[in-house]
Amino acid sequence: MIISLVIHGAPGTSQGAQSALSFCRAALAAGHRIYRVFFYEDGVHNANALAVWPQDEQNLPVAWAALVREHELDAVVCVASALKRGVLNAEEASRYEKTAASVDPAFDISGLGQWVDACLNSDRVVSFGV
């Protein structure tokens, strides 16, 4: 089965990001294909490489980046959601004359067209809310 996921919740304030990570791992272990993981609204914070987590908590941005790299997943951060939350890659930081980029390079920044494409090319779409 081909599955795409959309994550709306920020790490640390929503169970959605953790549930999505667990679901994604289980789907991959069961032999399913993940077409795309799309981070939307506050979910874009899951791609923030500059967040520092307490040692007794799982660092979800690091865990997501590791999963994306390990399985070569297509992980897309919504550009509109990211910009207004200060979650920028190097290209966007330069474009808006900001001093730093915060998106882990494992993630791409793109528009909602990527989510529409994922919906069209997946057997199932699973949404993880806030």
CATH number of the domain encompassing residue 81: 3.40.1260.10
| Cβ-based burial of 4 (10 A; exposed 0-12, middle 13-18, buried ≥19) | buried
Q: CB–CB of 68/61 below 8 Å?
A: no
CA-based radius of gyration for the chain: 14
Query: Distance (Å, rounded) from C-alpha 88 to C-alpha 94?
Result: 9
Q: What pTM does this model have?
A: 0.94
Residue 10 DSSP code: P
pLDDT higher than threshold 90 for residue 14: no
Instruction: State the pLDDT confidence band at 129, using cuts at 50, 70 and 90.
Output: confident
Q: What is the percent of the chain where pLDDT is above 90? A: 86
In total, how many domains does the chain have? 1
Q: Could you list the residue range(s) of the whole structural domain that residue 99 is in?
A: 2-128
Please tell me whether residue 120 adopts helix, strand or coil conformation.
helix
In this prediction, residue 19 carries a pLDDT of 96
In this prediction, residue 5 carries a pLDDT of 98
Residue of 7, 78, 82, 109 marked active site: 78
Instruction: State the pLDDT confidence band at 53, using cuts at 50, 70 and 90.
Output: confident
In this prediction, residue 26 carries a pLDDT of 98
Catalytic (active site) residue 119 = no
**Which residue do the tokens 């549930």 mark?**
19
